[in-house]
Amino acid sequence: MRLCVNIDHVATLRNARGGSIPDPVEAAQIVESAGADGIVCHLREDRRHIKDSDVFKLRKIITTKLDLEMAPIPEIVKIAMKVKPDLVTLVPEKREELTTEGGLNVISMKKYLKKIIRKFHNKGITVSLFIQPVRDQIEAAKEVGTDMIELHTGDYANAPTSRQKRRYLVIINQMAKLAKSFDLIVNAGHGLDYTNIKPIVAMKEIEEVSIGHAIIAKAVFTGLEEAVKEMVRLVKKV
């Protein structure tokens, strides 16, 4: 399994004082040298963490892959076309939310998504859709022509009991298999951490996980390099 690390919260910390440290570019370099397979950043409409200039700088220095998370809105689509990340992950976005809540409702925006996915493909950019592990959404994702999906693992991560967690794991596993049977590449993310990653790593249909908050939080105590290395060990079972 591959590990991509979301570095948004390095920018959150930087923006708390409005200066230039800690620098997301330096973070990306450390994350890559610690063995991660890619860097994720989310250019939100309100620019609360990653800024436009960060994305352009990251594009220049990243040697693994850059996954730009974004809402499928014209303003950000335009920027993504200029940045040309290796991958765009399309997510829903609400101004008041603390983090991405829920998955993209692909069913309700099929026509629009088809159009912008075609645009990204014309620029050579791979597309992933962040969706709930729900059959209808996966079928719609296949229909609109995405290359990949990222299954939302938030319900599993936040489930209060181990019984509920097991139930969500069954659903994630079934939906990963379904997506794979449609020839979609399957990734997963949201709320994953050092304690709940193991059952996800065991799912052979899932090729990549995207993890942010838990790694950056651990880095406060251990340093970023060690925090990434520890997750690399869990994800790659080394």
Residue list 3-42, contact with ligand PXP (CB under 6 A): 6, 8, 42
* CB nearer to ligand PXP: pick between 99 and 164: 99
Whether 45 is a known active-site residue: answer no
Beta bridge partner(s), residue 189: 152, 210
Whether 9 is a known active-site residue: answer no
Nearest-angstrom CA–CA distance, 42 and 56: 13
Count of positions (residues) in the chain: 238
* CB nearer to ligand PXP: pick between 122 and 216: 216
Q: How far is the CB of 22 from ligand PXP (least distance, A)?
A: 17
* CB nearer to ligand PXP: pick between 55 and 122: 55
Residue list 153-182, contact with ligand PXP (CB under 6 A): none
DSSP labels for 112-147? HHHHHHHHHHHTT-EEEEEE-S-HHHHHHHHHHT-S
Residue list 105-164, contact with ligand PXP (CB under 6 A): 130, 150
Whether 69 is a known active-site residue: answer yes
Q: How far is the CB of 40 from ligand PXP (least distance, A)?
A: 7
The catalytically annotated residue of 9, 32, 49, 69 is: 69
Residue list 59-98, contact with ligand PXP (CB under 6 A): 69, 89, 91
Contacting residues for 194 by C-beta, under 8 A, at least 6 apart: 214, 218, 230, 231, 234
The catalytically annotated residue of 93, 150, 190, 208 is: 190
What is the b/e burial string over 149-162, where b = at least 16 CB atoms within 10 angstroms of the residue's CB? bbbbbbbbbebeee
* DSSP state, residue 111: H
- The count of C-alpha atoms lying within 13 angstroms of the C-alpha of 213, restricted to the half-sphere facing its C-beta, is 10
Q: How far is the CB of 191 from ligand PXP (least distance, A)?
A: 5
Question: Judged by CB under 6 A, does residue 212 bind ligand PXP?
Answer: yes
Longest Cα–Cα distance of the chain, Å, equals 48
Active site residues: 42, 69, 190
Note the residues at the interface with ligand PXP (CB under 6 A): 6, 8, 42, 69, 89, 91, 99-100, 130, 150, 189-192, 210-214
